[in-house]
Amino acid sequence: MGLVLLLGGARSGKSRLAVRLASGWSGPVVVIATAEAGDEEMAERIRRHRAERAPEWETVEEPVDLEGALAGVPQEAGVLLDCLTLWVSNLIQQGLSDADIEDRARKAAELAASRRAGTVAVSNEVGSGIVPVNALARRYADILGRVNAIWAEAAESAVLVVAGRAVRLSDPDEVMGGPLDG
């Protein structure tokens, strides 16, 4: 299966589709969760996501060291990574530069793509709306967009999920009928 990247807006069905894909794997499944329950609303979201998963799946909660979490999963286990969106937010809160975040994203995406068992990664697409007024929100949208592009480049398949429906995203070279110049 390789690496599959699921992108979409909030409540688009990304996580539900990720669970469906992971449920089809014949071996063990490890969920790498990047969310932290900072308030009751987030705690409820985490509880809801856990309830959708098979009880035998192992969960690794790792908000920052994604590369380490991926390296710690046995090669025969499928990985469901939910989500890159919060991971980027966590790294920004840690004070990392955009270049450091992109470097970490590149290393983690390469590791996820090179795994023997499949990996499904979930991330929000936040760049489709208005440009935020606040500088931090603009920075977040910009860096998440670059991280999503890094992961899409490494992925065997990238899918946009909208209203519970999936649209496979094409490589630009495939759309243009050959390599794009410059």
Give the phi and the psi of residue 167 in degrees, each rounded to 5. Answer: -125, 120
What DSSP state is assigned to residue 13? Answer: S
Label residue 22 left, alpha or beta by phi (over 0 means left) and psi (-120 to 50 means alpha): alpha
Residue 83: cis peptide before it, omega within 30 degrees of 0: yes
- In contact, 69 and 30? CB cutoff 8 Å: no
Cβ contacts of 87 within 8 Å, gap of 6 or more? 34, 63, 64, 66
Report the C-alpha gap between 124 and 141 in whole angstroms. Answer: 10
In this structure, are residues 169 and 156 in contact, taking their beta carbons and an 8 Å threshold? no
Is residue 120 within a helix (H) or strand (E), and if so which, with residue range?
Answer: strand 119-124
> Is 173 annotated in the active site?
no
Structure tokens at 41: 């609303």
Which residue among the candidates 22, 31, 49, 73 is catalytic per the annotation?
49
Residues with catalytic roles: 49
